[in-house]
Amino acid sequence: MKTGLVLLVIVLQLFSACKKKHGPGPGPGGDDEDPPPVHGNKTIVQISGAVHHSLVLRGDTTWATGDNVRGEFGIALPADAKDPVKTITGVKDLSSKDGHSLFLKADNSLWGSGDNGNGELGDGTTTHRKEAIKIMDNVKKCEASYSRTFIIKTDNTLWATGNLSHTGVISLDDVKTPVKIMDSVLQVSSGTNHTLVLKSDNSLWSWGRNFFGELGDGSTTNRLTPVKIMENVKAIGTGFRCSYIIKQDNTLWACGRNQYGQLGDGSTTDRPNFVKIMDNVKMAAAGSSHALFLKSDNTVWACGWNNYGQLGDGTRTDRLLPVKVMDGVKMIAAGWEHTLVVKEDDTVWGCGDAANGELGIGVANFIITFTKMNLP
| Proportion of the chain above pLDDT 70, given as a percent | 87
Can you give the pLDDT at residue 37? Answer: 42
In 335-374, at which residue ranges do the beta strands (DSSP E only) sit?
338-343, 348-353, 366-372
Residues 237, 226: Cα–Cα separation, whole Å: 16
Can you give the pLDDT at residue 167? Answer: 59
The count of other CB atoms within 10 Å of the CB of residue 290 is 31
Could you give the angle at the alpha carbon of 28 between the alpha carbons of 24 and 31, nearest 5°? Answer: 50
Name the band, by pLDDT with cuts 50, 70 and 90, for residue 172.
low
Name the band, by pLDDT with cuts 50, 70 and 90, for residue 21.
very low
Region of 367 please: left (phi>0), alpha (psi -120 to 50) or beta. beta
Listed range (21-25, 123-127, 287-291) with the worst mean pLDDT:
21-25
Name the band, by pLDDT with cuts 50, 70 and 90, for residue 69.
very high
Name the band, by pLDDT with cuts 50, 70 and 90, for residue 2.
very low
Average pLDDT estimate for 259-276: 98
How many distinct structural domains can be found in the chain? 1
- Reported as a single tens digit per residue, the pLDDT across 136-154 is 999 999 999 999 999 999 9
Nearest CA-CA partner of 103 in 56, 35, 156, 39: 56
Nearest CA-CA partner of 237 in 262, 201, 269: 262
Name the band, by pLDDT with cuts 50, 70 and 90, for residue 83.
very high
Give the DSSP letter string of 227-296: EEEES-EEEEEEETTEEEEEETTS-EEEEE--TTSTT-SSS---EEEEEEEESSEEEEEE-SSEEEEEET
Can you give the pLDDT at residue 170? Answer: 57
* 11 lies in some domain: no
* 18 lies in some domain: no
Can you give the pLDDT at residue 23? Answer: 34
Can you give the pLDDT at residue 16? Answer: 38
Greater confidence (223 vs 3) lies with: 223
CATH of the domain at 36: 2.130.10.30
41 pLDDT more than 90: no
171 pLDDT more than 90: no
Q: Which helix (H) or strand (E) holds 9?
A: helix 2-19
Can you give the pLDDT at residue 40? Answer: 53
Residues 234, 220: Cα–Cα separation, whole Å: 25
State which amino acid sits at residue 303.
C
Peptide bond before residue 78 is cis, with ω within 30 degrees of 0: yes
Nearest CA-CA partner of 292 in 267, 253, 325: 325
What is the bridge-based pairing of β-strands 53-58 and 61-67? antiparallel
The chain-wide mean pLDDT, for the chain, equals: 90
Name the band, by pLDDT with cuts 50, 70 and 90, for residue 28.
very low
Average pLDDT estimate for 83-94: 98
Residues 65, 340: Cα–Cα separation, whole Å: 12
Residues 11, 32: Cα–Cα separation, whole Å: 32
Can you give the pLDDT at residue 102? Answer: 98
Name the band, by pLDDT with cuts 50, 70 and 90, for residue 36.
very low
247 pLDDT more than 90: yes
- Reported as a single tens digit per residue, the pLDDT across 278-313 is 999 999 999 999 999 999 999 999 999 999 999 999
- Residue 14 φ then ψ, to 5°: -65, -40
In 30-99, at which residue ranges do the beta strands (DSSP E only) sit?
44-49, 53-58, 61-67, 80-89, 91-96
273 pLDDT more than 90: yes
78 pLDDT more than 60: yes
Residues 266, 361: Cα–Cα separation, whole Å: 33
- Reported as a single tens digit per residue, the pLDDT across 327-356 is 999 999 999 999 999 999 999 999 999 999
Residues 56, 211: Cα–Cα separation, whole Å: 33
Q: Record the pTM.
A: 0.88
- List Cα–Cα distances, 202 to 80, 185, 187, in angstroms: 41, 9, 10
Residues 125, 355: Cα–Cα separation, whole Å: 31
- Domain of 175 in residue numbering reads as 23-372
Residues 127, 148: Cα–Cα separation, whole Å: 14
Name the band, by pLDDT with cuts 50, 70 and 90, for residue 174.
confident
Can you give the pLDDT at residue 169? Answer: 58
Residue 226 near residue 203 (C-beta atoms within 8 A): no
Listed range (13-17, 104-108, 210-214) with the worst mean pLDDT:
13-17
* 317 lies in some domain: yes
* 102 lies in some domain: yes
* 293 lies in some domain: yes
* 219 lies in some domain: yes
State which amino acid sits at residue 306.
N
Can you give the pLDDT at residue 59? Answer: 98
